[in-house]
Chain A
């Protein structure tokens, strides 16, 4: 499938972090609905280390264990931790000293990855965010679509399941098709039933999969227009790992989408950057 060019940005390579963690470091944690992430920065804002973990039932404990292993929770060199994400308030007063919303975190993180970016599209586990950036690391406007999980990572996960394909391969699978079959249901539960009945009818699975990705893009486009489309656009969150979404969104918005390496850590990165600012 011919798509828009998508430029990949890579992260700075980790420096010798054993030395770095013993000096001043800044940590951002992002407690999302499906995954928990952390990023460790040195005082110069270079990324020393980062990790993405499945959240499970107790994401805070998972983060605590992982950070302890990194050596950054020792009393003598306790790092400043800023929390963001869905579960940020549970971390406050415990693992983290301060919190910022995921809007601010993504704005800071996106600006770091690509200072000229003027918009962030974040497709997360349970919500989708569109953020208009002002070019100085701050944001001017935002929309969160979170009353309903259609058009989010969860929607795609449920759909991938009906194909018995891993979510990591679902995008490339869909891209193999030349045409898409329209999915009528907006609701995740009803859409799943619709997919199953299409498969049972013998319709081309790749085309159905492409239709599902189209549904997601169709929900995102009006949100982008509501905020006011502006380029360049940074595509972040777990959803950005999906090449079909990146492809379709780029074509739909008529724009180059920038997809950073490890797009899921943009929030945690922003939280860490905030920690180093104030």
Chain B
């Protein structure tokens, strides 16, 4: 076991609190992940990544900086990773999924705001996240109101570049995004001391598309009845996608997918045939938030697909690789990124259609629509999604929650009752 104290000290990490965080995380991970039965061998790589979550990966990021690169922390699928890579930077997802730092965040943010925002801001304020401390700057975006205003606070603690992401998928919206890409490129080129070229963007698009295709192939295996991999394990992979080394991650996912396809042929699965198949739809479950997956899968069901940023929305569309100039690449990137069906857009009917499609493709028995507290856009969108699912004869249950353990018992009762309802 490596000792990373010196490295953490050099990043000004609050070592005591940080130690507490790692202890809790280690115990929780053992209880939730390592105690699962019949896990694919290929999950060893991802267990290793979690084990080294604040160790090896941070070392790699610091080495990248030492070689002249930079680290850009981001929180959202709309930030174009390809442009960061093309400028010599590494994009790192900084979304917070733990309750530990909420109290700290509430010194600066209102109590009644998304728990993900409080967790992320709290991690920075408490100085216990080496990813935050390794980032040269952050890239925020104007997706939801909560984040939009939180950047103003966070900027006092670490330079935060905010991208104006439009709220409508119109020509005007496309133009806004195109112009914002140019503005972002200026910032990235300054940080990377390099000009973003057609060649570099081409390489980056290929790298990212390969990652997306690998995840799509992995998710394909979950369509099998029963799925050869648990929902918790698949979720972990989707979460690690936000910050792991891209080629290594892609190769590890492909290796696992190969094993899963063999498991399908051999009839191996962590679930028995009649286990109810659930789709989790809505807000992202960012690391280390495994709450809902854990409750669902310990109540006798399987999560077979996540319609979320930590799920299908991450990889479902690719960037058009036929672009022949930087200008065309920027157009292709804008088209791809603006195709994400986030509830921050209005209207967002494509998402409702996509949910019904996935429910059918993944042969789900029911949908758990999961929102974070105070997430207005996903909460309001539920009304339309619920109606569409009911019209399609697909059972749905809404769970709105935060990161605390306070309501775990009540959520379990609702999930168990939902499963009783589905089975009857």
Decide: A101 and B417 in contact? CB cutoff 8 A: yes
* Residue A102, interface by CB 8 Å: yes
A-B contact pairs, 21 of them (CB 8 A): A101-B416, A101-B420, A102-B413, A102-B417, A103-B413, A103-B417, A103-B420, A104-B417, A104-B420, A127-B410, A138-B421, A138-B424, A139-B417, A142-B417, A142-B421, A144-B410, A144-B413, A144-B414, A146-B410, A147-B407, A147-B410
Which residues from B are CB-within-8-Å of A144?
410, 413-414
Extra pairs beyond A103-B413, A127-B410, A140-B421 (4, CB < 8 Å): A101-B417, A103-B421, A104-B417, A142-B417
B residues contacting A by CB (< 8 A) are 407, 409-410, 413-414, 416-417, 420-421, 424
Main secondary structure of the interface of B (DSSP, over half): helix
* Residue A253, interface by CB 8 Å: no
Q: 1/0 per residue A111-147: CB within 8 Å of B? A: 0000000000000000100000000001111101011
Which residues from A are CB-within-8-Å of B420?
100-101, 103-104
Which residues from A are CB-within-8-Å of B407?
147
A residues contacting B by CB (< 8 A) are 86, 100-104, 127, 138-142, 144, 146-147
Q: By CB atoms of chain A within 10 A, which of B409, B410, B416 has the most?
A: B416
Which residues from B are CB-within-8-Å of A86?
409
Say how far B391's CB is from chain A's closest CB, in angstroms: 15
Which residues from B are CB-within-8-Å of A140?
421
Which residues from A are CB-within-8-Å of B421?
103, 138-142
Smallest Cβ-Cβ distance to B416: which chain A residue: A101
A86 to B410, CA, bound (A): 9
Which residues from A are CB-within-8-Å of B410?
127, 144, 146-147
Which residues from A are CB-within-8-Å of B409?
86
Which residues from B are CB-within-8-Å of A103?
413, 417, 420-421
Say how far B104's CB is from chain A's closest CB, in angstroms: 24
Say how far B368's CB is from chain A's closest CB, in angstroms: 14
Smallest Cβ-Cβ distance to B398: which chain A residue: A143
Smallest Cβ-Cβ distance to A147: which chain B residue: B407
Say how far A119's CB is from chain B's closest CB, in angstroms: 15
Q: What are the 4 tightest A-B residue pairs by CB atom distance, in nearest-first order?
A: A103-B417, A101-B417, A138-B424, A104-B420
Say how far B289's CB is from chain A's closest CB, in angstroms: 19
Which residues from B are CB-within-8-Å of A146?
410
Say how far B2's CB is from chain A's closest CB, in angstroms: 40
A71 to B336, CA, bound (A): 70
Smallest Cβ-Cβ distance to A104: which chain B residue: B420
Smallest Cβ-Cβ distance to B410: which chain A residue: A146
A159 to B412, CA, bound (A): 30
A272 to B387, CA, bound (A): 35
Which residues from A are CB-within-8-Å of B417?
101-104, 139, 142
A115 to B407, CA, bound (A): 33
Which residues from B are CB-within-8-Å of A139?
417, 421
A24 to B173, CA, bound (A): 71
A59 to B414, CA, bound (A): 23
Which residues from A are CB-within-8-Å of B416?
101
A144 to B407, CA, bound (A): 12
A147 to B414, CA, bound (A): 12
